[in-house]
Amino acid sequence: MQTVAAAPASMRLMDFLERSYETFGPKLYHYLLGILRSAADAEDALQTVFVKLAQRDKDDEIEDLTSYLFSAARHEAIRLRDKRRSARKREDASQAGVEQPAPPPDLLAATEERELDRRKLEAAIAHLPEEQREVVLLKVWEGLTFREIASVLGVPQDTAASRYRYALEKLKQELGD
Amino acid sequence: MEEWLREFRPIAPRPALKAQILAAARNPPRPGLIDRLWNRTTWMAIAAGALVAVGLYAVPVRVDPDIAEQAFRRAQQKLPERIVVWTGRSETPRVMIARLEGPNQLRLEELK
């Protein structure tokens, strides 16, 4: 857990933002990519998170920057996804779905010899229920603790842990491990 | 299983994204008119205004009936009358000037 009691007055805002991006930017991007399944939307959401971080009230202290940023990213992702869904519904109603949506971008990278495993894993992750998928992303690749995950998702810690356990079981079954 | 999963690296954002995002954070887009009008400060000002309005107008002015009748008679003669009133929930009396507002109505004015 990384605890930062807001940006100290002496620290310039841009330094604070730059350090925050270096620490959390790639992790937040990967998490957003996993939820939104679109690189452009993940970039937009990430930018909104950092703009809001820059604009926040100076009196609003951030006790836990990890939870704060991932919660903000999740809220923004949900907002953006709902917006896209309603736009898509309107388009479908008017054009009866002329264009097929683009395939989701890759979430993971691997060496050439592991490429087949990677594809299987991506497919297995895509088949997970969303609530389990985000716990797996946050725990395995974003490195959050169950306490932090619970705070981000707004669920009890036990719920976060059990979602993770179910997700791993499903992944094992699907990958035939 | 966890270890096996971690062998796959997460896709990283494109390198240019960092500069783009930091530039946006440095010069954030100006909020629209509606956002500026309906920010938190505005809501607090509206709430405070509503409370003041309730305090000033919704709670009746209390006057001793005999004094009010005397003030009314003098006001009819165009003689401004100083009367004692209690406004709002205050227990402290205030002295105000009563003038005729309408055929059956007095207007109370602050002492100058």
Instruction: Look at B6 and A54 and tell me if their CB atoms are within 8 Å.
Output: no
Query: Among A44-53, B29-38, B48-57, which is the least confidently predicted range?
Result: B29-38
Asked whether the whole model's pTM tops 0.80, one would answer no
Q: Any bridge partners for residue B85, and if so which?
A: B63, B94
Domain of A59?
1-105
The structural domain count of chain A equals 2
**A112 and A74 fall within a common domain:** no
Q: Decide which of A89, A105, A121 is a domain's last residue.
A: A105
**A82 and A16 fall within a common domain:** yes
**A112 and A100 fall within a common domain:** no
Asked if A161 is an interface residue toward chain B (Cβ–Cβ < 8 A), one would say no
Q: How many pairs of residues across A and B have Cβ atoms under 8 Å apart?
A: 84
Question: Considering chain B, what is the average pLDDT of its residues?
Answer: 75
Per-residue pLDDT at B57 = 58
Instruction: Look at B1 and A177 and tell me if their CB atoms are within 8 Å.
Output: yes
**A101 and A117 fall within a common domain:** no
Give me the mean pLDDT over the A117-137 stretch.
92
**A56 and A1 fall within a common domain:** yes
Instruction: Look at B22 and A17 and tell me if their CB atoms are within 8 Å.
Output: yes
Asked if A104 is an interface residue toward chain B (Cβ–Cβ < 8 A), one would say no
- Please report, as a single letter, which amino acid is at residue A108: L
Choosing among B2, B5, B39, B41, which should be mutated to test the A contact, i.e. which has the most A CBs within 10 A?
B5
Question: Considering chain A, what is the average pLDDT of its residues?
Answer: 86
**A26 and A72 fall within a common domain:** yes
Q: Where are the domains of chain B?
A: 30-59, 60-112
**A88 and A7 fall within a common domain:** yes
Per-residue pLDDT at B76 = 72
Question: Model confidence over A44-61: pLDDT tens digits?
Answer: 999 999 999 988 876 677
Q: How far is CA B35 from the centre of its chain?
A: 19
Instruction: Look at B13 and A27 and tell me if their CB atoms are within 8 Å.
Output: no
| Interface confidence: ipTM more than 0.90 | no
When CB atoms are compared, the residue of A26, A27, A51 closest to B25 is: A51
Choosing among B22, B30, B36, which should be mutated to test the A contact, i.e. which has the most A CBs within 10 A?
B22
Distance (Å, whole) CA B15 – CA B36: 34
Which residue from A124, A102, A134 is spatially nearest to A33, judged by alpha carbons?
A: A134
Question: Model confidence over A3-27: pLDDT tens digits?
Answer: 455 545 445 788 889 999 999 999 9
Interface list for B 29-48 with A (CB within 8 A): 29
Residue A69 burial (C-beta neighbours within 10 Å; 0-12, 13-18, 19+): buried
CB A68 within 8 A of CB A62: yes
